[in-house]
Structure 1
C-alpha cells in the first residue's frame, strides 16, 4: 500500500462501503463514542445542541443501531410487531395504519415489522411466535374479537401490546377504537331525515367486536326513528367485492328492495353501487347511501354518497403511542382511546 492510500485510510475510521457505526459519527462530529451513544439515547446529561448535531449526522450517514448487538446488551429488540390480516389489505386499511405507526416510531429507536396472516387460519400463531421467540418488544393487533385469545395470551405473559378495537373480556388493556356504534346511529338518522323507510346494513363479520358495536347503533337508531330494518346476512364487509355486488344486485332487484343503505366499508360501497345500478336503481333517486370510509376516494368518485371518515392513519399513531407507553410501564387504563366519525 503506498503512502497516499495509507494516509487516506488513517484519516477515515471506515471505508465508505462499511456500515456506519458510532465511531463514524464520533469521527464526523469530533465527539467521543460514549457521548455519541448517550446523545442518540437522549441521555439527560447531554445538551440539546449536541443531541441535534449527533442525530443530524446519524441521519446523513444512514446510521442504524446493530439490533443484534442491542439485543445482546439490553435484552430488547427495538422492534414493534404489527400483526395484520390479509382481509385488512383487501379493505385498504394497511397503508394508512402503517404510515401512522411509522410517523410515531420515526422519533424513537423502534422499528416496525409487519406480520401478515390470513384470519381464517390460526390467528393466534403470529402472536405466539413473537412471544415464544422474543421477536419484538411490543405487538399491535387488529380485528379484535369479544373474547380474543390473543389478548388473553399476551396478558397472561405480561407482554406489552395494543389492540385496534376493543374486547368484551373484562380485561383492561391498551386500545384505540373507532365509534362504530355512533357511526351506525348517525347513518340511520341521516337516511331517516331524507325520508328513507326501509334500510339495510352491510356490516362487519359477526365474530368481530365492532360488528356488535355497529349493530347496536343501527338497531337503536331503527327503533328511535321508526325505520324498518331489512334483514340481510348474505354477505359482510369481508366478502369479495364480486360477492358483495352479486348479493346487492339480487337484493335491490327485488320488489320490496330497501331505499336506504348503511355501508361499513368504503371498498364494499363501490360493489354495492355496482349492484344497485345493475338493476337500474340510481343513487339519490331510488336509494340513498351512507358509508364509512378510510379516505376521500369514495366522495370523489360518487359525491351522491354520504360519507363518514374513519381516520386509520390517526389510529396507527394512537396505537404506536400506546404500545410504546405500555413498554415504558404506563398503566393500561391510561392508554385507551376512541375516535369519532368525521
Structure 2
C-alpha cells in the first residue's frame, strides 16, 4: 500500500524564488506548478491549494512582464471608474467581488478613474492603444455610449455594467431597473398612495429610461397621479441639495404621498427632507427604495425596498469578461439581467 505523500519542509530562499523553486519544494513538474497557479481545471483542487500555499510561503511572485512577452497578455483587467464616483459600499462591493474573480483566474484588477472634464474616450483609448489590460469593465452607460462604440470597433474585450441602445451586441451585466421601478410603484399603490414621484438616475444614463418605463407603466395601470419634481432629481445630485429640494416641495403643499427612490443615499436625504418640512416619513409620505447595502435595514421608520445584489454583479462582470477573453461564448450570449429582490417590511 502506497504511503501518503508527506509535505516537504519549505525554506524561503535568499534569492527571488522562481517557478522551479516552487516546483522543487512541491516535488512536481514546473508545468504542473504553472498550471496549478493559473487554476487550470485539469489540476486537482487539492494540488492547486498545496501549490499556492507553498508559493506563498516561499514568497513567489509571478513575473508578469516575462509571461506577457510569451503570451501577448498583460493578465490585467481594468475597471474604469466614472469621474466623481463616490467610493461607497456600492463601489467597494463591486471592486471586491470583481477582484476576487480576477485573482482566482490569474488576473489582477486595476481601477482606473476617469478624469473630470477629459474627453470620455481618453481612458479607454489609453488602455487599448497602450495595451494596459486584456479587458475592460465600464459602467454608467448611456444609450449611444461612445466608449462602447470605440471598444466594439477596435475588437477589444469589454463588459458593461449597464446596457446601451447600440445596434451592435456587446457583453453586459445589469440590474432590472425597469422591474424595480414598477414593483416599487405597485407597492405604493397597494398601500393606498395616489400621487407618486420618481427620484431616479441622471437623464443621460440608459437605466434612467428603464426606471421611467417601469414607473410610468405602474402609474397607468393603477390610475395614479404622476408628480413631476420641480427640477430634475438624480442620484448624482449632492445630498444636501436633494434634501433641500424635497423640504421645499413638501412645504409647498403640492407634494407626493409616495416616492420611488433609485438609491440608498438619496433615500436618506429624501426622508430627512420630509422630516425637515415638519411631516412624518411613513405617514405623510412613504418611500420605496432600491437597496444596495445594509443601511436601509437600519432606517427608522422602517421602509420597503427592493434589493440589488452588488456583490453578485461584480462576480458576474468578472466571469463574463473572462469568458469573453477566452472565447468561451459568443458576445450575444454574454448578457445578464439581475432581478430585484423585494424586501417589503411593512404590513
Q: How does the TM-score come out when normalised to structure 2?
A: 0.89
- DSSP 3-state at the match of 1:201: strand
Q: In the superposition, relative to structure 1, how do residues 309 and 86 fare at CA in structure 2: closer, same or farther (>3 Å)?
A: farther
RMSD: 2.1
Partner of 1:89: 86
1:6 maps to none
Instruction: Give the structure 1 partner of residue 196 of structure 2.
Output: 199
- What is the CA-CA distance between 1:78 and the residue it aligns to? 0.3
Instruction: Determine the C-alpha separation between the residues in 2 that align with 1:43 and 1:309.
Output: 35
Quick check: 1:252 aligned with 2:250?
yes
Aligned counterpart for 1:67 among listed residues 64, 73, 76: 64
Give how far 1:163 is off. 0.4
TM-score by length of 1: 0.90
Which whole-Å deviations, capped at 9, do the CAs of 1:185-204 have from their partners, x for residues lacking one?
Answer: 11111111111111111110
Residue 134 of structure 1: how far off its partner (Å): 0.1
Match of 2:333 in 1: 334
Give 1:219-258 correspondences, 5 Å limit: 219-232=216-229, 233-258=231-256
Tell me, what secondary structure is at the counterpart of 2:104?
A: coil
Q: CA deviation at 1:91?
A: 5.8
The verdict on how the C-alpha distance between 1:125 and 1:305 changes in structure 2, with shifts beyond 3 A counting, is same
Once the two structures are superposed, the pairs formed by residues 111-150 of structure 1 within 5 Å of their partners are 111-118=108-115, 121-150=118-147
Structure 2: unaligned runs, 5 residues or longer? 1-9, 342-347
After superposition, the Cα gap between the structure-2 partners of 1:14 and 1:221, relative to the gap in structure 1 and judged at 3 Å, is same
In the alignment, what sits opposite 1:273? 271
In the alignment, the residues of structure 2 paired with residue 106 and residue 248 of structure 1 have an alpha-carbon distance, to the nearest angstrom, of: 44
Shift of 1:101: 0.5
Map of 2:183 onto structure 1: 186
State the partner residue of 2:149.
152
Distance 1:107 1:90 in 2: 24
| 1:56 paired residue among 53, 57, 65 | 53
Shift of 1:37: 2.5
Change (3 A) 1:204 1:340: same
The DSSP-based 3-state class of the residue aligned with 2:293 is coil
For residue 28 of structure 1, report the CA deviation from its aligned partner.
1.7
Q: Counterpart of 2:124 in 1: which secondary structure?
A: helix
Matching of residue 218 in structure 1 with residue 197 in structure 2: no
Deviations 1:207-255 (A, max 9, x none): 1000000011111111111111111134311011111111111111111
